[in-house]
Every structure is written in C-alpha cells, then in structure tokens.
Amino acid sequence: NAGVTQTPKFRILKIGQSMTLQCAQDMNHNYMYWYRQDPGMGLKLIYYSVGAGITDKGEVPNGYNVSRSTTEDFPLRLELAAPSQTSVYFCASTQRDGYEQYFGPGTRLTVT
C-alpha cells in the first residue's frame, strides 16, 4: 500500500508556464483534496472531489484546475503560473468526509 503519492517532489516554473501536479492513491478513497501551504500559514483548500467525475472549488481555486476521471487519480493543473503560486502543494484522500485524511509527501513549487 503506497498510500497517497505525488509527483514531482520539486519543480521550478517560469512565469506564464503551465504544469500538472500528479496525485494518486491506492486506498480506494472517494474523497480527494488539493491543499497549498504557504510559509508560516495553515493549509488552504484549493479543490476537492467526492468521487470520479465530481469536483468542486475550495477556498483558493483561482489559477488552478482539476479533473477526476478515475477514483485513483486527481491531478492539479496550473495554467499561466504566477509568483503567488509559489508554495508547497499537498494532496490528501479520505474514505468518508469527517474521517482521517491521508496526505501525500507534497510538491514544492517555485515560480520565478
């Protein structure tokens, strides 16, 4: 059981570039989440999904897009990267809302 995996671990983007952060879980969890963690701040929810084909915005969705074509995968797309998107991104999953969330190891993104 790998749990929640994220790739890449680190990435440097130039302003205006695009990229996709990958997230996969092998626990058959329906609920998946994307968070960002800025230095000295609490995690903020970007997008979430309650099942394949169903996604919705969180607290800070601007500049991001998601898709959920399978239960296992929940990629996060950054279009036209901006310096404000420099952060550490965490993907998480849970069996049911209100249950323990399992986090991936994170992707550290720098936009310059």
Partner 1 sequence: KNQVEQSPQSLIILEGKNCTLQCNYTVSPFSNLRWYKQDTGRGPVSLTIMTFSENTKSNGRYTATLDADTKQSSLHITASQLSDSASYICVVSDPPSTLGRLYFGRGTQLTVWP
Binding site for partner 1 (CB under 8 A): 4, 40-45, 90, 92, 97-98, 100-106
Distance in angstroms (rounded) separating the CA atoms of residues 90 and 105: 7
Cα separations in angstroms, 96 against 19, 27, 99, 104, 108:
29, 12, 6, 17, 27
Which C-beta is closer to partner 1: that of 85 or that of 107? 107
Helix (H) or strand (E) holding 11: strand 10-13
Residue 28 Cβ vs partner 1, minimum distance, rounded to whole Å: 18
Which C-beta is closer to partner 1: that of 37 or that of 65? 37
Which C-beta is closer to partner 1: that of 91 or that of 111? 91
Residue 55 Cβ vs partner 1, minimum distance, rounded to whole Å: 13
Residue 94 Cβ vs partner 1, minimum distance, rounded to whole Å: 9
Torsion angles phi and psi, residue 4, rounded to 5: -105, 125
